[in-house]
Amino acid sequence: MQRTTMTALKNDTFLRALMRQPTDYTPVWMMRQAGRYLPEYRESRKTAGSFLQLCKNAQFATDVTLQPLDRYPLLDAAILFSDILTVPDAMGLGLYFEEGEGPKFERTLQLEADIQKLTVPDMAKLQYVFDAVSNIRKALNGRVPLIGFSGSPWTLATYMVEGKGGTDFLNTKKLAYARPELLHHILEVTAQTVIQYLNAQIAAGAQAVMIFDSWGGALSHNAYTEFSLNYMQKIVAGLTKNAEGKKVPSIVFTKGGALWLEAQAEIGADALGLDWAVDIGSARKRVGDKVALQGNLDPAILLSTPEAIEKEVASVLASYGKGSGHVFNLGHGITQWTPPENAAAMLEAVRKHSLQYHQ
């Protein structure tokens, strides 16, 4: 794939923090920062139609990605507007969305014959994603870095086996324990797919990449290493450099993954995402200077008041303490019920209170 060369960055604070380099303040972005809590996003959905139609239209995806940046000038990064389930969709499982029920698949991987047929798809099936990345980079014009992303193999496998998200994962776990070789086949094929997928995003212009392991925390202690962490390590090792020959920073985020922070810090990623259940100061002590940390305000706090938001932001920043290596974020995606002015209050509080930790 042809590599994209773009305008130099005007604000590289986010990338510097990921690489644990000095910054003037703690950079911040929000998971799901382009989403249903924004009235302009809801208007875009009316025009574009379904969520998938929005993702597959490069111009709409670009417009939506830029919406939070236009509203909130204190954001330090943009993230590609897409979905982790584009990958299993390209693998032929038939992604669709049911109103009020979330994503589902027409076909699942539960029979051995279906599992054995699974192969790495032609990346041309995901060209709409790479077109969006390139388009967004051009539209950003160096304003802030662009984050590309994928789901982790384990998380994607749960959707492919169960046919939907948010379950107890009993079919996937049954496969893990009764026929581990079949689950490993799914995970290996998916890992190789994700490597190609993220590298194509990098070639198209992504300046950092993030692996979302949304359901890794559902695994037992040993199963997490075998079925999730090992495959994320393969992906990180397989990432290529950008058009300038520079390393593209990577972030790994396992929701509910605080038990494995030390192990996560050893897989070669530049940063670890944290959910809100772990104290970020304790996490910093546990991982030392091996990785940067991203997080970890409880998204529910944004449903409260500006005063409560400022207090909690100050608490997270104080817990991390002085020095670089912290990217402020939520501990999971922003909820659709968040008042947009409360997100602004959080961003203002991060800038106001973080300056003292970078002097």
Catalytic residue among 45, 114, 279, 357: 45
What residue type is 6 in one-letter code? M
The secondary structure of residue 5, as a DSSP letter, is -
Q: In a 3-state reduction of DSSP, which class is residue 314?
A: helix
Contact 228, 213 (CB under 8 A): yes
Catalytic residue among 76, 83, 213, 270: 83
| Positive/negative CA dihedral, 340, 59, 106, 114 | negative
Distance CA 224, CA 209 (A): 21
Catalytic residue among 25, 41, 72, 159: 159
Contact 188, 267 (CB under 8 A): no
Terminal-to-terminal C-alpha distance of the chain: 43
Q: Is 25 a catalytic residue?
A: no
Q: Is 32 a catalytic residue?
A: yes
Per-residue CA distances from 280 to 147, 214, 306, 325 (Å) = 22, 19, 22, 12
Q: Is 76 a catalytic residue?
A: no
Q: Is 20 a catalytic residue?
A: no
Q: Is 159 a catalytic residue?
A: yes
Catalytic residue among 32, 143, 284, 351: 32
CA 232 to chain centre: 13
Closest CA to 80 of 208, 235, 247, 188: 208
Torsion of CA 249, 250, 253, 259, to 10 degrees: -90
Per-residue CA distances from 193 to 80, 159, 160, 324 (Å) = 18, 15, 14, 33
Catalytic residue among 36, 114, 131, 298: 36
Which residues belong to the active site?
Answer: 32, 36, 45, 83, 159
